[in-house]
Amino acid sequence: MDWLILVKIAIVYFAILLLMKFMGKREIGQLSLFDFVIILVIADIAVIGVENTDPPFYIHMLGIFLLGLIQKILAKAMLKWSALRSFFDGKDSPIIIDGKVNIKEMKKQAYNFDDLVTQLRLKNVRSISEVRYAILEANGEISVFKKNEFANETKANYATKTISPITNTKTSQLKNQAGEQQEIYPFPLIVSGKINGRNLKILNLDEAWLMKEIRKKGYKSEKDVYYANYENGKLFIVETCDF
């Protein structure tokens, strides 16, 4: 009967609500790959249980609570054993280190420059040149640390260079001599070796100018450039590293 389906839906709703509270707030706010799979499976079992009568409805409900119990036990175990936590939840991945894009890690995570640029814009970052460190977290979010946040490593009102303890290279801070905000446009001109013609038009630039600037910086063509942006009246090309 139709009314039985409505009763099942109500039971599933309250059952999953209680189950999510039992599993903890982490399941809602910090979904890892494993958490996401568990929730998908629970949703599938709930749908099958509502629509079918064989096996009985309570068997499907027991399956849902069994998954919740397994998740709770694993969550407790992962608090104790970091290796288990890394296996199920994954590890964070350094995408930008001292202003240099970690190409090796990006390939490993199947993370492209379009993904990176989009995520940075969502964090109100206009260009990779503003970023000193960016970390791709296990839940897919990206944590961004700007160069100007490292105030203890800079002198007021002029640019400084420091030696990175990680890459052993000099890194410059993005402040001009007057301490003013520099002109950085959120329109990449080259991403993954391809010229963005639309952004060139937005900035009133042309490909001839772009190719001239690329060659000035020692590159043969745009295909050799992973990322380039127009900043402070000139072309900024991102540096890369492999860790």
The CATH number of the domain where 101 resides is what? 3.30.240.20
Domain encompassing residue 71: 2-89
Q: CB-based contacts of 133: which residues, under 8 Å, 6+ apart?
A: 94, 96, 97, 98, 144, 145
Q: Which of 16-25, 33-42, 55-64, 146-155 has the highest mean pLDDT?
A: 55-64
State the chain's mean pLDDT as an integer: 81
Counting every residue, how long is the chain? 243
Q: How confident is the model at residue 64 (pLDDT cuts 50, 70, 90)?
A: confident
Where helices occur in the chain by DSSP H, the ranges are: 2-23, 26-29, 33-51, 57-80, 82-89, 103-108, 113-122, 197-202, 207-216
Are 70 and 153 contained in the same domain? no
Structural domain total, the chain: 2
118 and 223 in a common domain: yes
pLDDT at 15: 82
Q: Which residues does 118 contact at the CB level (< 8 Å), separation at least 6? A: none
Q: Could you tell me if 166 and 130 lie in one domain?
A: yes
**End-of-domain residue from the set 73, 89, 105:** 89
**Tokens standing for 6?**
């409505």
- Both 102 and 118 in one domain: the answer is yes
Judgement on whether residues 113 and 221 belong to the same structural domain of the protein: yes
Query: Same domain for 66 and 173?
Result: no
Q: 122 and 70, same structural domain?
A: no
Task: Tell me the pLDDT tens digit for each residue of 176-213.
Answer: 544 555 788 889 999 999 999 999 999 999 999 999 99
Q: Are residues 135 and 199 in the same domain?
A: yes
Question: Span 55-83, mean pLDDT?
Answer: 84
